[in-house]
Amino acid sequence: MISSFLAVAETELNEAAGWYESQKPGLGVQFLDEVDRARDLIETFPTAWPKISRNIRRCRLSRFPYGLLYHYQADASEILIIAVMHLHRDPDYWKDRI
């Protein structure tokens, strides 16, 4: 299974990594590494995380207060990451993306 980011989710990813990098050199890279690990897990075990709506699941990052929201259907060959979501902000902001 392969995954890809919506353009807006990729923008969120880059903005978050930039913010962390501005706080401490190297922290942005650590954030991106954490996202890569989560993405690998999602690709390997796409149904391991809870559904938050019909076909949307959320994989929480371990070290950072973010989650990857992704669209997954068992009959599809691709996982679409629709948001790189800060977990302490509006939980429904992404809903107009689907």
Predicted confidence band of residue 77 (pLDDT cuts 50, 70, 90): confident
Question: Residue 95: its pLDDT value, please?
Answer: 83
98 or 71, which is more confident: 71
CA nearest neighbour of 56 among 11, 9, 89: 9
Chain centre to alpha carbon of residue 43: 12
| pTM, full prediction | 0.90
Chain centre to alpha carbon of residue 94: 12
CB 91 within 8 A of CB 71: no
CA gap 6, 86 in Å, rounded: 16
Task: Give percent of the chain with pLDDT exceeding 90.
Answer: 78
Predicted confidence band of residue 90 (pLDDT cuts 50, 70, 90): confident
Name which CATH class applies to 2-87.
alpha beta
